[in-house]
């Protein structure tokens, strides 16, 4: 399936995995709206790179957990680019702390962005996306590996996994797929923050391929689900190099 002339909205597109997704979709011929929270300069750079790849790219600010803000982004995308075909919700936050030490403010922040934000973006996708489209959400491999200190984060992503197959069924008859990717340890700024090199090496060694994933590894899976992967629907795809 050609992805030419498709229009994608990518939240969290200013850095890390989201930035790699923007680049990969642009390389596939999709026009891209890069949605960012606070990193305007990085988001504009991602949009400029999309333009350099021969497609249209725009950068738009939004709080993904604010329904008015997100609706405004979709309005602007439709006005400047056209009807939306692909929605990739890569925006997310992480806080790692044992449950007994977890601050409720941290939990509230996680749930607001990772759960409420997913529902807000999904709701707008239901209202806007056209036939032949795709929705790609983000979970995490930690919903299966159950690592200590990841309880709040993994719980927020488990909510995403619960939504995906239900949303896929709610799109019945509209030729729209809904899936999630669940990355394993990926070499991003967010992942490396607060970790020693020894710990990073130990985590990398847990994968049969003896390395961390790259943002480009994850973006390749997203591009498949956002383009030619039309018979994959209602699934959580674990993109983790074989970590059990």
Burial class (CB in 10 A: 0-12, 13-18, 19+), 131: exposed
Q: DSSP per residue over 71-88, as a string?
A: HHHHHHHHHHT-S--EEE
CA angle, 47 then 94 then 177, to 5°: 60
Among residues 153, 171, 224, 238, the one annotated as catalytic is 153
CA distance 18 to 27: 14
> Angle of helix 40-52 relative to helix 16-27, nearest 10 degrees?
20
150 an active-site residue? Answer: no
Terminal-residue alpha carbon distance, the chain: 32
* Catalytically annotated residues: 153
């Amino acid at each position: 399936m050609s992805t030419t002339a498709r229009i994608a909205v990518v939240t969290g597109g200013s850095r890390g995995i989201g930035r790699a997704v923007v680049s990969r979709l642009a390389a596939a011929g999709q026009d891209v709206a890069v949605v960012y929270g606070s990193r305007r300069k990085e988001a504009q750079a991602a949009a400029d790179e999309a333009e350099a790849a021969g497609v249209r790219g725009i950068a738009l600010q939004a709080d993904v957990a604010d329904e008015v803000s997100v609706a405004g982004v979709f309005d602007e995308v439709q006005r400047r680019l056209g009807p939306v075909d692909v929605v990739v919700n890569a925006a997310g936050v992480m806080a790692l702390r044992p449950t007994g030490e977890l601050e409720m403010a941290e939990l509230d922040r996680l749930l607001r962005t990772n759960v409420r934000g997913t529902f807000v973006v999904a709701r707008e996708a239901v209202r806007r996306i056209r036939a032949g489209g795709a929705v790609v959400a983000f979970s995490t491999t930690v919903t299966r590996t159950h690592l200590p200190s990841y309880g709040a984060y993994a719980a927020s992503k488990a909510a995403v996994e619960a939504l995906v197959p239900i949303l896929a069924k709610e799109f019945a008859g509209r030729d729209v797929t809904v899936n999630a990717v669940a990355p394993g340890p990926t070499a991003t700024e967010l992942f490396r923050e607060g970790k020693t090199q020894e710990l990073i090496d130990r985590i990398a060694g847990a994968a049969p391929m003896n390395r961390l994933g790259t943002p480009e590894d994850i973006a390749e899976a997203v591009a498949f689900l956002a383009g030619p992967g039309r018979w994959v629907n209602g699934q959580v795809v674990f993109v983790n190099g074989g970590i059990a």
